[in-house]
Amino acid sequence: MKLTKVAVTGGAGYVGSALVPHLVVHGYDVKVIDLFLYGEKPLEGVRATRVRGDIRDEALLQREFRGMDAVIHLACVSNDPSFELNPELGKSINYDCFPGLLRAVRDGGVRRFVYASSSSVYGVREEPEVREDSPCTPLTDYSKFKLLCEELLREADLEATWAIARPSTVCGYAPRMRLDLVVNILTIHALVRKAITVFGGSQLRPNINIEDMVEAYRVLLEAPPELIDRQTFNIGYENYSVSRLAEIVRAAVGDPQVTVAVKPSDDLRSYHVNSDRFARVLGFAPRRTIEDAVRSIVAAWREGRFQDPLTNPLYHNIRLMQQADLGGRTTSPR
């Protein structure tokens, strides 16, 4: 039986703002549970139920998950710098509340649960390709707590079918735009400053176009339970060095004036993620390229969809988190 009622935590974030309309178009009845830290505008005109709430509020999750067929859990403090800004707050959102969230999944009779982990759980690996069974050596607290939630999920007493997604870095335009992710940063710098600065350059970074990412989540909703239950999937496509990404961006932006400069970096993360398993088990292979992602951002920029793209906290998680007061009240924009 099709799972039609889907709750998406963090559904107003970057991935969520593309995923929620995608699910609605495919006939799902979607409920977004979010603090709307980046405002409600990204979901304007989308026929989904909105619940303004904190995933640390277990009573709210108990109430809102009840009667849902599926939950996709995206909400979190979603990058290293934002997490490090206030590690205690980050841990409270990314880890401490996870057992309560799983209890609400169990008690609500939810039949499918998808957890958004991250390919950053692998850290720096020597092997040429990291697969789902490769050892994980997360380098930061953000990645460490992603992995610890995976472990909690594996130990949980859940009847629901569940799966863990380990996405690569997502790229491309979404209504709630993030301009703090590698391809997106390079693109906006090429457009606004006509100059790209690459830090390091040789590190390999795995990428996934946001349109493929949202389709992958839908595939996880629709797959027969026996194919995905208790499984972990890398979800990535093109793995390139940061220098190569810069060249791809420069070419796709198509402005000969754009320059590329290289500076030293101490960010050592470098890994080549292999996502064959997702294609093999589920018959889904990503098909949108990094060039497609760059072009989607260029088009949005030309349409005037970004205001002060280099400094606006709406597009840069660390800047917004510096302003937000998540002790209770939030300063989220309307």
116 binds ligand NAD (CB under 6 A): yes
Distance from the first to the final alpha carbon of the chain:
38
Q: Are strands 204-209 and 239-241 parallel, antiparallel or unpaired?
A: antiparallel
3-state DSSP percent of the chain in helix, strand and coil, to 5 = 40, 20, 40
136 binds ligand NAD (CB under 6 A): no
Q: Min. distance of Cβ 205 from ligand NAD in angstroms?
A: 10
User: Residue for token digits 């990314």?
Assistant: 94
CA neighbor of 91 nearest in space, from 23, 129, 144: 144
Kindly identify the residues of this chain, within the stretch 25-54, that bind ligand NAD according to CB under 6 A. Answer: 34-38, 54
Q: Min. distance of Cβ 188 from ligand NAD in angstroms?
A: 15
Helix (H) or strand (E) holding 321: helix 317-323
Contact pick of 71, 91, 113, 118 for ligand NAD (by CB under 6 A): 118
Q: Computed from CA positions of residues 205, 20, 286, 289, in that sequence, does the dihedral angle turn out positive or negative?
A: negative
Could you tell me the two tokens for 89?
Answer: 């707050």
203 binds ligand NAD (CB under 6 A): no
CA neighbor of 287 nearest in space, from 238, 250, 242, 240: 238
**Closer residue to ligand NAD, CB minimum distance, 136 or 258:** 136
Q: Min. distance of Cβ 1 from ligand NAD in angstroms?
A: 27
DSSP label of 175: S
Segment near ligand NAD (CB under 6 A), from 12-20, 214-222, 248-256, 275-283? 12-20
What does the alpha-carbon distance between residue 37 and residue 309 come to, in Å, rounded to a whole number? 17
76 binds ligand NAD (CB under 6 A): yes
Question: Is residue 114 within 8 Å of residue 71, measured between CB atoms?
Answer: yes
**Closer residue to ligand NAD, CB minimum distance, 176 or 288:** 176
78 binds ligand NAD (CB under 6 A): yes
Bridge partners (DSSP) listed for residue 196: 260
317 binds ligand NAD (CB under 6 A): yes
User: Residue for token digits 């380098």?
Assistant: 139
What does the alpha-carbon distance between residue 5 and residue 34 come to, in Å, rounded to a whole number? 17
Segment near ligand NAD (CB under 6 A), from 69-77, 128-136, 151-159, 241-249? 69-77
Could you tell me the two tokens for 250?
Answer: 């420069």
Question: Is residue 217 within 8 Å of residue 72, measured between CB atoms?
Answer: yes
Contact pick of 16, 123, 175, 309 for ligand NAD (by CB under 6 A): 16
**Closer residue to ligand NAD, CB minimum distance, 130 or 258:** 130
Q: Min. distance of Cβ 198 from ligand NAD in angstroms?
A: 18
170 binds ligand NAD (CB under 6 A): yes
Number of residues counted as binding ligand NAD (CB under 6 A): 28
Taking CB atoms, the residue at the shortest distance from ligand NAD is 13
Q: Min. distance of Cβ 208 from ligand NAD in angstroms?
A: 8
Positions in the binding site for ligand NAD (CB under 6 A): 10, 12-16, 34-38, 54-56, 74-76, 78, 93, 116, 118, 167, 169-170, 176, 178, 181, 317
